[in-house]
Structure 1
Amino acid sequence: MSDALKHECGIAFIRLLKPLEYYHMKYGSWMYGINKIYLLMEKQRNRGQDGAGLACLKLDVPAGKRYISRVRSNSSRPIVDTFEMVRRPIEAVAERNKDLAFNPNYAIENFDFAGQLLLGHLRYGTFGKNDIENVHPVLRENNWKTKNLVLSGNFNLTNVDEMFEQLLSFGQHPKDYSDTVTILEKIGYRLDQMNERMIEEYKKEGYNKREISLLIEENFDLTTVLKRASENWDGGYVIAGMVGHGDAFVMRDPNGIRPASYYADDELIVVASERSVIQTVMNVPAERVSEIKPGHALIIKKSGEYIMPEINKPLERKSCSFERIYFSRGSDADIYKERKLLGELLTPQILKAIDNDTDNAVFSFIPNTAETAFYGMLKGIETHMLESKIEQIISRRGNLSNDELRAIINTRPRVEKIAIKDVKLRTFIADDSGRHDLVEHVYDVTYGTINPGVDRLVIIDDSIVRGTTLRRSILKILDRLSPAEIVVVSSSPQIRYPDCYGIDMAKLTEFIAFQAVINLLRETGNSSLINDIYRKCKEQQYKNRNEIVNYVKELYDPFTDDQVSEQIARILQPGIKSKVKVVYQTVENLHKACPNDTGDWYFTGNYPTPGGNKVVNTAFINYIEGRNVRAY
Structure 2
Amino acid sequence: MSDEIRHECGIAFLRLRKPFTYFHQKYNTALYGLDKLYLLMEKQHNRGQDGAGIASVKLDMQIGVPFMKRIRSNVGQDIAGIFKHLQKEIEDIEKLHPTIRNYPDLLKGYIDFLGEVMIGHLRYGTQGKNDIEYCHPFIISDINPALNICLAGNFNLTNTKELIQFLGEDQVNNPTMDSDLFAMIRTIHLFLKEEVSKENSSINWKKILSESAAKFDGGFVVEGICGNGDGFVFRDAHGIRPAYYYINEEVVCVTSERAVLMTTFKTPFEEINELPPGHAIIVHKDGSYHIEQILPEAKRAACSFERIYFSRGSDQEIYNERKQLGRFLSEKVLESIQYDLKNTLFSFIPNTSEIAFYGLVKGAEAYLNEIKIKRIQSWNKDFDDEKLREMIERRVRVEKIAIKDVKMRTFITEDSARNEMVQHVYDITYGTVRAGIDSIVIIDDSIVRGTTLRESIIKMLDRLGPKKIIIVSSAPQIRYPDCYGIDMSRMNEFIAFNATVELLKDHKQLHILNEVYQECIEAKKANTLSSKNYVKKVYKQFTVEDINTKIAQMLHPEDVNAEIEIIYQTIENLHKACPHNTGDWYFSGDYPTPGGNVVVNNAFINYMDGTKNRAY
Q: Distance in 1 between matches of 2:528 and 2:399?
A: 50
Q: Quote the Cα distance in structure 2 between the aligned partners of 1:70 and 1:3.
A: 34
Partner in structure 2 of residue 46 of structure 1:
46
Do the aligned residues in 1 keep the contact of 2:30 with 2:101 (CA within 8 Å)? Answer: no
2:187 paired with 1:186: yes
The answer as to 2:572 corresponding to 1:588 is yes
**SS of corresponding position for 1:420:** strand
Residue 428 of structure 1: CA displacement?
2.4
Distance 1:589 1:149 in 2: 44
- Say whether the 8 Å CA contact 2:523–2:529 is kept in structure 1: no
The aligned counterpart of 2:328 is: 345
Tell whether the 8 Å contact from 1:566 to 1:582 is kept in structure 2 after alignment: yes
Question: 2-side partners of 1:232 and 1:152: how far apart?
Answer: 17
Q: How far off is 1:471 after superposition?
A: 1.2
Structure 1 letter corresponding to 2:178: Y
Identical residues among aligned pairs (%) = 49
TM-score w.r.t. length of structure 2: 0.97
Counterpart of 1:92 in structure 2 is 92
> Is 2:502 the partner of 1:519?
yes
Partners in 1 of 2:25 and 2:551 — Cα distance? Answer: 62
Question: 1:36-60 deviations in whole A, cap 9, x for unaligned?
Answer: 0000000000000110101010011
In the aligned structure 1, how far is the partner of 2:45 from the partner of 2:443? 24
Query: Partner of 2:610 in structure 1?
Result: 626
1:24 deviates by 0.5
Matched, 1:132 2:116: no
* Per-residue deviation, 1:486: 0.6
CA distance, structure 2, for counterparts of residue 80 and residue 240 of structure 1:
22
Counterpart residue number, 1:424? 407
Q: Is the 8 A contact 1:342 1:376 kept in 2?
A: yes
Q: Which digits, 9 at most, give the CA deviation of each residue in 1:570-624, with x for residues without a partner? A: 0011232211111100101000100011000010001111111111101111111
SS class of match (1:406): helix
Q: 1:314 and 1:130 mapped to 2: Cα distance?
A: 34
Residue 259 in 1 paired to residue 242 in 2? yes
Runs (5+) with no aligned partner, structure 2: none
Number of aligned residue pairs: give it: 614
Measure how far apart 1:545 and its partner are: 5.4
TM-score (norm 1): 0.95
Question: Structure 1 residue 171: deviation in Å?
Answer: 13
Equivalent positions of 1:54-69 (< 5 A) are 54-69=54-69
CA distance in 2, matches of 1:556, 1:341: 27
Equivalent-residue separation in structure 1 for 2:380 and 2:443 (angstroms): 37
Distance 1:247-1:543 versus aligned 2 partners, 3 A rule: farther
Matches within 5 A, 1:554-565: 554-565=537-548
TM-superposed CA distance for 1:399, in Å, is: 3.0
Q: How does 1:168-179 map to 2 (within 5 A)?
A: 168=168, 174-175=174-175, 176-179=177-180
Match of 1:150 in 2: 150
**Deviation digits for residues 537-556 of structure 1 (CA, Å, limit 9, x no counterpart):** 11112444575211211112
Tell me how far apart the structure 2 counterparts of residues 260 and 505 of structure 1 sit (CA, whole Å): 22
Contact 2:529 2:601 survives alignment (8 Å): no
1:114-161 deviations in Å (ceiling 9; x for gaps)? 210111000011222221111111100000011111000011001112
Query: Could you say what secondary structure the match of 1:82 adopts?
Result: helix
Corresponding residue number in structure 2 for 1:296? 279
Matches within 5 A, 1:233-272: 233-272=216-255
Give the Cα separation in 1 of the matches to 2:526 and 2:270.
46
**Partners of 1:314 and 1:121 in 2: CA distance:** 27
Q: Secondary structure at the match of 1:471?
A: helix
Alignment counterpart, residue 374 of structure 2, candidates 385, 391, 409: 391
Read off the aligned partner of 2:608 and give its amino acid letter. Answer: I
Aligned-partner residue type, residue 177 of structure 1:
D
- 2:125 maps to a residue whose letter is G
CA RMSD in angstroms comes to: 1.5
Aligned 8 A contact 1:71 1:85 in 2 = no
Structure 2 SS opposite 1:242 = strand
Q: Partner of 1:602 in structure 2?
A: 586
1:225 match: 208
Query: Which among 294, 298, 303 is matched to residue 311 of structure 1?
Result: 294
Q: What is the CA–CA distance in structure 2 between the aligned matches of 1:54 and 1:419, rounded to whole Å? A: 38
SS in 2 for 1:345: helix
Quote the residue 1:576 is aligned against.
Answer: 560
- C-alpha displacement at 1:87, in angstroms? 1.7
Q: Is the partner of 2:282 in helix, strand or coil?
A: strand
Is the CA contact 1:364–1:374 (under 8 Å) kept in the aligned structure 2? yes
Separation (CA, whole Å) in 1 of partners of 2:554 and 2:169: 50
Paired with 1:35 and 1:312, the residues of 2 have a C-alpha distance of 34
For 2:153, the aligned partner's letter is G
Query: What do residues 160-216 of structure 1 show as CA deviations (whole Å, max 9, x unaligned)?
Result: 1211111118999754222111001000111111112x13xxxxxxxxxxxxxxxx4
SS of equivalent residue, structure 2 residue 301: coil
